[in-house]
Amino acid sequence: MLVRSLFRCSLAVTRSFIRMSSEDQDGKFQEVVKYNIAEADSEIPTQPAVLDIKLQMTNSSTENKLDPDSIKSDVTSLDKLNQLETRLFKCAAAGNVEEVTSILKIKGANKSVNWKNDRGWTALMLAARNNHVAVVKMLLAEGTDVNIMNSSGQTALDVATFWNNQEIVDLLTGKSRLEERQQFYNFFSQNPLYRASEKRNDKAWLQNVLKLSTTNFVIFSELNAFVTPVKNAGSEKKRSGFNLGLFQYKHLAEILAKKPLVVFLGLETWDPKSVAWFAVDVTGEEENLFKNVHEDGQFIEGFPLALQMMKTDAGIYAEARSILAWHDRYQFCPTCGSSTVVAEAGYKRECENKDCRSRKGIHNTNHPRVDPSMIMLVVSPEGKRCLLGRKKSFPPKMYSCLAGYMEPGESIEAACQREVEEESGIKVGHIEYHSSQPWPFPAVIMLGCIAHAKTDNIKIDPDELEDVRWFTKQDVQSMANRTHPLEFFFPPAQAIAHQLIKTWINPTSNL
């Protein structure tokens, strides 16, 4: 028997190992490993406190090997799935690449690569914990999700880092970095159109493409888009979202003859001969006219139903609605008060007063307005909590990131610091930019940041927020899973707040 005391780390964690080797009657070896872990403030899960893991070493008997044929290579019953799960976790923890590979090949166990045990641990986490590099490589090749978190909020990377399994850390970090290099787009950001701004002043070209049979039109009535449902496969009644209802010139010829507001949105590619898209304001027209083309179509209010749109359609919707909302609000010159006319295919309004100074030089009053707004996830000084608040207008029990508009002459960093202190009394220092999101209600650009707090004493401004509080990672994870004891939750994935929170829960998250 060999007893070794490893080390006492800064987290006050001690680990003692007892290893026993014995030879059984057949001359095969077993190793019994016992981990006795006492912890202080560690986030690494250690329950149960004593893990008893029997690992088959060399020359393991064939009766312990997984035989896919014995399970008829087809998993249909719950009992068989449970057996497979147990076997997968044991083999991953033991480093048995052959049997882990066999399990993943069994029909009906195609999702087993991401199975979790009762503590939320996956095969990847167990292999990372015990430093089984070959198993980790195989699981990565099979497409395992490196961003899954266990019940304590740790990923496989967190586990490997804690146990100082550097080769696995390098493997998992390389995987995460590859994903991080890919550009991330928030909802409303995935507009596939090439805006072709050089064509906005080409009146002859615009008039020609307007009447082409290939040109697509999307329509709005009182800023509500006309959409069609996306049907679930095999169901005529259940829908999974909305697409923009598309129309051709022949469907709208009579309406276009009345000279409604028409905005050129762009082309499907950079090629000027590619399909053009326009948005048309049909306010005042009967909805039945459009149902003749799309029987199941309807006009929907922007928020929250627009969050159910398909991603690329949502991007086109954001462009169209924001510009139409600007036209709706700025029909008179902000400089002299005179009436204005539409120019540049909907991307400009010109004052009809020829003496107005807005006609001399470039003025931002002539072009669509976009209002920058900060939204920030505040992280506590020690990094283990985040600050979330709620307005009275929020759905019951929903908490979100703090947010507010930028003021003139203010930087992103200064706006974050000011807004957080005004709403919560918390002072923040370092600011990290995360991503942005167009928010077409009416025309906002949300600038998402992670803000690092210098203080943690909350002082709520009741005129701004109903409640503000600190949440641990475990709290936030339970909110994400809708298992919080107080039924708290945060905004859905379509909101940038969701992405900021997910990034903090797991810095390598594939959002």
Give the tens place of pLDDT for each residue, 80-108.
777 888 888 999 999 999 998 888 887 55
Residue 351 within a domain: no
Task: Provide the token pair at 354.
Answer: 């020829």
CA-to-CA distance for 108 and 302, rounded, in angstroms?
A: 42
Residues 376 and 475 in one domain: yes
CA-to-CA distance for 48 and 123, rounded, in angstroms?
A: 18
Residues 3 and 38 in one domain: yes
Residues 381 and 487 in one domain: yes
Cβ proximity of 48 and 118 under 8 Å: no
Residues 207 and 317 in one domain: yes
CA-to-CA distance for 133 and 257, rounded, in angstroms?
A: 69
- Domain extent, residue 53, equals 1-58
Residue 362 within a domain: no
**Average pLDDT over every residue of 26-50:** 32
**CB under 8 Å to 51, separation ≥6 — which residues?**
34, 35, 37
Is the backbone peptide bond immediately before 381 cis, with ω within 30 degrees of 0? no
Q: What's the domain count of the chain?
A: 4
Residue 187 within a domain: no
pLDDT-derived band at 4, boundaries 50, 70, 90: very low
Residues 53 and 72 in one domain: no
Backbone angles phi, psi at 134, to 5 degrees: -60, -40
**Is the per-residue pLDDT at 124 higher than 90?**
yes
Residue 18 pLDDT: 31
Which CATH number does the domain housing residue 219 bear? 3.90.79
**Is the per-residue pLDDT at 24 higher than 70?**
no
Which CATH number does the domain housing residue 500 bear? 3.90.79.10
Residue 189 within a domain: no
Residues 376 and 457 in one domain: yes
pLDDT-derived band at 110, boundaries 50, 70, 90: low
Residue 402 pLDDT: 98
Cβ proximity of 175 and 140 under 8 Å: yes
Length of the chain: 511
Residues 210 and 162 in one domain: no
* Secondary structure of residue 92 in the 3-state scheme: helix
Last residue of a domain, one of 182, 210, 226: 182
CA-to-CA distance for 404 and 383, rounded, in angstroms?
A: 23
Residues 405 and 461 in one domain: yes
Residues 175 and 205 in one domain: no
Q: Report the Cα 500 to chain-centroid distance in Å.
A: 8
Residue 427 within a domain: yes
Residue 192 within a domain: no
Residues 316 and 400 in one domain: no
Last residue of a domain, one of 329, 362, 386: 329
Which CATH number does the domain housing residue 151 bear? 1.25.40.20
Residue 16 pLDDT: 32
**Average pLDDT over every residue of 67-82:** 53
Q: For 325-380, what is each residue's pLDDT tens digit?
A: 999 999 999 999 999 999 999 999 999 999 999 998 888 889 999 999 999 999 99
Residue 34 pLDDT: 32
Least confident piece of the model among 58-62, 220-224, 283-287, 413-417: 58-62
Residues 54 and 71 in one domain: no
Q: For 240-266, what is each residue's pLDDT tens digit?
A: 799 999 999 999 999 999 999 999 999
Residue 354 within a domain: no
- pLDDT: is 291 or 66 the higher one? 291
Residue 188 within a domain: no
Residues 13 and 70 in one domain: no
Last residue of a domain, one of 58, 78, 93: 58
Residue 26 pLDDT: 35
